[in-house]
């Protein structure tokens, strides 16, 4: 799958592999649908987007409304800074950039 998507850098491949394993664990039906229905070159990016969605959702599923809003604001700031700098500190964001 990674070869067909022309993902060659070892550290990037490790990131995609970690995200793929994560999606396979928390969303097995969605993972299988992506693997069976999407062309191989699209699969890595779709799987990473599912991981990003899941990670974002986890941040706002717990705590008071105020805590969830703060968590979402902090995540948004990290996402924006990561995309602007090109050096994301979070594994999910590294595979998105």
What string of DSSP letters covers 71-93?
A: HHHHHHHHHHHHHHHS--SSHHH
What is the model's pLDDT at position 2? Answer: 86
What is the model's pLDDT at position 72? Answer: 94
Low-confidence ranges of the chain (pLDDT < 50): none
E strand or H helix at 96: helix 91-96
What is the model's pLDDT at position 96? Answer: 79
What are the pLDDT digits (tens) for 44-65? 989 889 999 999 999 889 899 9
């Amino acid at each position: 799958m990674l070869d067909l998507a022309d993902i060659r850098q070892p550290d990037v491949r490790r990131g995609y592999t970690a995200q793929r394993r994560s999606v396979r664990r928390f969303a097995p039906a969605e993972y299988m649908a992506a693997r069976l229905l999407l062309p191989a070159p699209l699969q890595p990016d779709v799987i990473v987007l599912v991981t990003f969605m899941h990670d974002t959702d986890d941040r706002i599923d717990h705590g008071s409304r105020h805590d969830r809003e703060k968590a979402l604001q902090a995540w948004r700031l990290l996402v924006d800074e990561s995309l602007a700098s090109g050096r994301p500190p979070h594994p999910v964001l590294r595979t998105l950039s």
